[in-house]
Structure 1
Amino acid sequence: MTNPIGDPGHGHSPAAWTSVIIMLIAISIGTVALFLGEIWLVWASAGLLVLGPILGFILSKAGYGVNGPKYQPKAH
């Protein structure tokens, strides 16, 4: 049975992957910085965490999202 709204794409795009990887790096840096007591680095990683979705949105609007012209889906 097909979805009447359409397939949302599940986020398998360069924009989504870039966003998630940046956020994972930010969380990792923030966790280590908190453990070491480097509060300035915790706040810097929080800023990087906020940058992840913003960059994902910008890349999506630039055509690298699921339905963008620069996205090339891979066959499963």
Structure 2
Amino acid sequence: MNAQNDPGHGHSPAAWTAVTIMLIGFTIGTVAFFFELAWLVWASAGIVLGGWIIGGIMAKAGYGVKGPKYQPKAHS
């Protein structure tokens, strides 16, 4: 598959930001679940949801794979 046909597979600032925020939320939630802190488990679920929303906002702002502000990098 050449670079012109590659859809990007989420290699964009919007995707990386969303995934990073969601991973932080999942990590906090996992630790909170282990320590039986229900309020923190729910707060981490909010962080995960927030990451999804922020990723969507960034994609609509042009930082998604097909956005005008996205600068693809060549693979070596």
TM-score strictly above 0.5? yes
Counterpart of 1:44 in structure 2 is 43
Counterpart of 1:61 in structure 2 is 60
The alignment-based identity, stated in percent, is 70
CA shift for structure 1 position 7: 3.7
DSSP 3-state at the match of 1:73: coil
Counterpart of 1:26 in structure 2 is 25
- Separation in 1, partners of 2:9, 2:41: 31
- Separation in 2, partners of 1:52, 1:35: 22
Q: 1:26 is aligned with what amino acid?
A: G
CA RMSD of aligned residues (A): 1.4
Structure 1 outlier segments of 4+, above 3 Å: none
CA shift for structure 1 position 34: 0.8
CA shift for structure 1 position 8: 2.4
Unaligned runs of 5+ in 2: none
- Separation in 1, partners of 2:74, 2:52: 26
Q: Number of residue pairs matched?
A: 73
TM-score (normalizing by structure 1):
0.87
